[in-house]
């Protein structure tokens, strides 16, 4: 075991060792070439000539290897393209030998034939010996690695695909202590003799064949090199693997590879349900976004929430100078503060502020003290059934609170105000969605009034609208995970219910980019891909957990909750969209409201919610948002 551990530590030869090795090879080849040429041309080895060429070659070999830098090429990664360096070494060495010999001969006459014969042999043999030495060392190295990995405790893996990215993963697994490559897996490959390097390619066409391959090889995982490969196989290999109890892994992109003690290691992980939502992850070029926010003071409301906290992380990475984290939740803000200080405390000034968007004086104090350049307004109540039961609080936070933050942002000359909205604001069927649509109308009308000169200020108002975010507090996926851990059942409201989904990081990246666009008053909507049926999501999660849906773990339908609708929308029927420079972001052409009218409504809201006048509050909402039609709610009677 000690020998195995010592051998496993072998990575690369030090460059000075490779340098000396190449010099010695070049020197020995020259002596062999001179000896052979001597026998061919004179019938005997001329010792004086050998001694003279030893001195000449020692110098020319040293200089040629040093100039051509062959010692910098890692031998175990030696490839055909590196042969040109070895050719160059050979030419340089022989050219230097020729020059030295011609100089020593005094330029008086031509060199003897024996010299030219040795030069020609030297030129050919140097290249051949250098190449074969490297191939031999690679062969020995592979043998050592096979010996070391023969008793490795890591899990056996089959890599999906036979493309360049699949083959490229071999190098990353050479030193892995977690995973051992057992071969490659490809759909409908008939030639069983096909291989990549030392690894065989196994072809499959159905589940039975797949199971036979994994049983024969003894592999535990199938590794997908890219998200595109995973998407391509969602309805074939992924489903077969789930049915057969085969686990799946995903390899990250190169910008997701993290440095660890100076060594780049792949963050291989098991496939999560987020990877199976039917679309590739959204990637953005954040260069323009960095230029917009770098060095500025940014305030985030709802900073301890799912979206707000991720906005804070990404803003810190973009190089803002000061980050004001505003939230009313004490414990979550405390935990978020500790995380941010640990990760970004040296680069960004962090200010965690306890406060409530409903209290204008507290907001005024914070804005006056920190003078933010940009505001991201993510503070909101979001849970549909809970807000249906507490409509006054929903209006107080989502409408009055938004009015308060927007007005004070204008007062203190904030450059940009970015509001985080939701797809539930489109044709709302619940109080929560109606309050978010009202908030959209307020900030949009305020921005328009500023542009028209009716309200003094310079703030540009941007609204971002998107669907459900994966993994946020109270969302469906964490709920399903908890139910699976308890053995089920998984509760789904209706078999027909579907939703748009997006991961928290990509949603926040789009929010940041949208925050740099437009001239104010715009509502940006995001490309959420295709909607996903919640029952399909539940089924996939059960399968990923290794259970059989509706046998080992049941799916139970509970009926729509108050205010819930079957299908979410990103635009209402009267709205159209305009493109932006980013194809994942579009501008919604929405109905606009008169600022004076909506401002008066918000003042009425403020009075009604303080009196906890529930019916009058909801009536005012329906008056302001005429498309708000309650569903499965006690407020349906107000629509008649």
Q: What positions carry a catalytic annotation?
A: 424
Q: What angle do CA 393, 395, 634 make, to 5 degrees?
A: 80
Q: Which of 578, 570, 436 is nearest to 518 (CA)?
A: 578
Rounded Cα–Cα distance for residues 512 and 292 (Å): 10
3-class DSSP assignment, residue 220 = coil
Residue 344, phi-psi category: left (phi > 0), alpha (psi -120 to 50), beta (remainder) = alpha
Q: Exposed e or buried b for every residue in 579-591, given b needs 16+ CB within 10 A?
A: ebebebbbbbebe
Rounded Cα–Cα distance for residues 484 and 554 (Å): 10
| Number of C-beta neighbours around residue 340 at 10 A | 20
3-class DSSP assignment, residue 507 = helix
Between the alpha carbon of residue 125 and those of residues 100, 325, 391, 585, 605, the distances in Å are: 20, 70, 87, 62, 91
Rounded Cα–Cα distance for residues 336 and 342 (Å): 10
Rounded Cα–Cα distance for residues 27 and 29 (Å): 5
Burial of 109 (C-beta count, 10 Å sphere; 0-12/13-18/19+): exposed
Token pair for 20: 């000396």
User: Per DSSP, which regions of 423-500 are E strands?
Assistant: 460-466, 468-470, 490-492, 498-499
Long-range pairs, 203-212, Cβ under 8 A, ≥24: 204/237, 204/240, 206/240, 207/240, 207/243, 207/244, 210/237, 210/240, 210/241, 210/244, 210/246, 211/244
Rounded Cα–Cα distance for residues 414 and 368 (Å): 11
Contact indicator for 280, 357 with CB cutoff of 8 Å: no
Spatial neighbors of 272 by CB under 8 A, at least 6 apart, are 544
Tell me the torsion sign for CA atoms 554, 559, 561, 565. positive
3-class DSSP assignment, residue 324 = strand
Spatial neighbors of 520 by CB under 8 A, at least 6 apart, are 447, 448, 450, 451, 459, 460, 461, 462
For the chain, the distance separating the N- and C-terminal CA atoms, rounded to the nearest angstrom, is 81
Helix %, strand %, coil % of the chain (to 5): 50, 15, 30
| Number of C-beta neighbours around residue 1 at 10 A | 6
Q: What angle in degrees, to the nearest 10, is found between the helix axes of 306-317 and 330-344?
A: 20
- The DSSP bridge pattern shows strands 522-526 and 585-589 to be antiparallel
Q: What is the helix (H) or strand (E) element at residue 29, kind and residue range?
A: helix 15-42
Q: Which of 600, 606, 601, 603 is nearest to 622 (CA)?
A: 601
Contact indicator for 471, 477 with CB cutoff of 8 Å: yes
């Amino acid at each position: 075991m000690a020998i195995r551990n010592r051998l496993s530590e072998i990575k690369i030869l030090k460059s000075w060792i490779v340098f000396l090795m190449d010099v010695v090879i070049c020197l020995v080849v020259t002596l062999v070439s001179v000896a052979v040429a001597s026998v061919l041309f004179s019938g005997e080895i001329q010792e004086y000539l050998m001694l003279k060429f030893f001195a000449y070659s020692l110098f020319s070999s040293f200089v040629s290897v040093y100039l051509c830098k062959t010692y910098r090429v890692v031998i175990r990664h030696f490839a055909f393209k590196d042969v040109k360096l070895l050719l160059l070494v050979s030419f340089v060495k022989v050219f230097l030998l020729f020059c030295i010999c011609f100089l020593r001969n005094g330029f008086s006459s031509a060199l003897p034939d024996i010299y030219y014969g040795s030069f020609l042999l030297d030129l050919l043999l140097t290249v051949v010996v250098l190449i074969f030495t490297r191939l031999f060392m690679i062969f020995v190295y592979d043998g050592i690695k096979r010996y070391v990995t023969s008793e490795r405790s890591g899990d056996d893996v089959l890599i999906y695909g036979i493309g360049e990215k699949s083959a490229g993963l071999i190098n990353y697994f050479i030193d892995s202590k977690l995973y051992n490559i057992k071969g490659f897996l490809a759909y409908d490959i008939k030639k069983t003799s096909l291989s990549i390097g030392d690894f065989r390619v196994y072809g499959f066409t159905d589940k039975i064949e797949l199971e036979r391959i994994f049983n024969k090889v003894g592999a535990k995982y199938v590794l997908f090199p890219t998200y595109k490969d995973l998407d391509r196989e969602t309805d074939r290999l992924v489903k077969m693997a789930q049915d057969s109890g085969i686990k799946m892994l995903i390899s990250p992109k190169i910008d997701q590879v993290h440095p660890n003690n100076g060594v780049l290691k792949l963050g291989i992980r098991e496939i999560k349900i987020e990877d199976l939502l039917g679309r590739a992850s959204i990637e953005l070029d954040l260069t323009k976004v960095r230029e917009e926010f770098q060095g500025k003071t940014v305030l985030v409301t709802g900073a301890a929430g799912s979206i707000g906290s991720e906005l804070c992380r990404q803003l810190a990475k973009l190089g803002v100078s000061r980050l004001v984290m505003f939230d009313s939740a004490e414990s979550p803000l405390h935990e978020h503060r500790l995380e941010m200080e640990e990760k970004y405390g040296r680069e960004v000034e962090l200010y965690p502020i306890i406060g409530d968007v409903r209290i204008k004086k507290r907001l005024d104090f914070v804005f006056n003290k920190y003078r933010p350049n940009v505001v991201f307004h993510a503070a909101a109540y979001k849970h549909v059934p809970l807000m249906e039961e507490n409509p006054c609080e929903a209006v107080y936070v989502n409408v009055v609170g938004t009015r308060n933050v927007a007005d004070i942002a204008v007062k203190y000359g904030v450059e940009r105000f970015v509001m985080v909205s939701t797809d539930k604001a489109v044709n709302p069927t619940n109080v929560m969605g109606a309050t978010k649509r009202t908030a959209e109308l307020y900030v949009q009308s305020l921005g328009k009034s500023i542009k028209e000169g009716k309200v003094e200020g310079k703030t540009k108002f941007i609204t971002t609208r998107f669907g459900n975010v994966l993994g946020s507090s109270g969302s469906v996926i964490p709920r399903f995970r908890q139910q699976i851990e308890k053995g089920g059942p998984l509760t789904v409201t209706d078999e027909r219910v579907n939703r748009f989904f997006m991961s928290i990081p990509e949603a926040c990246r789009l929010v940041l980019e949208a925050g740099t666009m437009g001239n104010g008053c715009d509502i940006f909507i995001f490309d959420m891909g295709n909607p996903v049926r919640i029952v399909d999501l539940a089924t996939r999660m059960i399968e990923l957990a290794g259970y059989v849906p509706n046998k080992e773990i049941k799916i139970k339908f509970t009926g729509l909750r108050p205010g819930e609708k079957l299908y979410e929308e990103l635009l209402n029927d009267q709205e159209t969209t305009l493109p932006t420079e980013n194809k994942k972001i579009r501008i919604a052409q929405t109905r606009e409201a008169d600022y004076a009218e909506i401002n008066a409504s918000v003042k009425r809201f403020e009075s009604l919610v303080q009196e906890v006048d529930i019916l009058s509050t909801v009536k005012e909402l329906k008056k302001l948002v005429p498309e708000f039609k309650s569903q499965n709610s006690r407020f349906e009677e107000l629509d008649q």
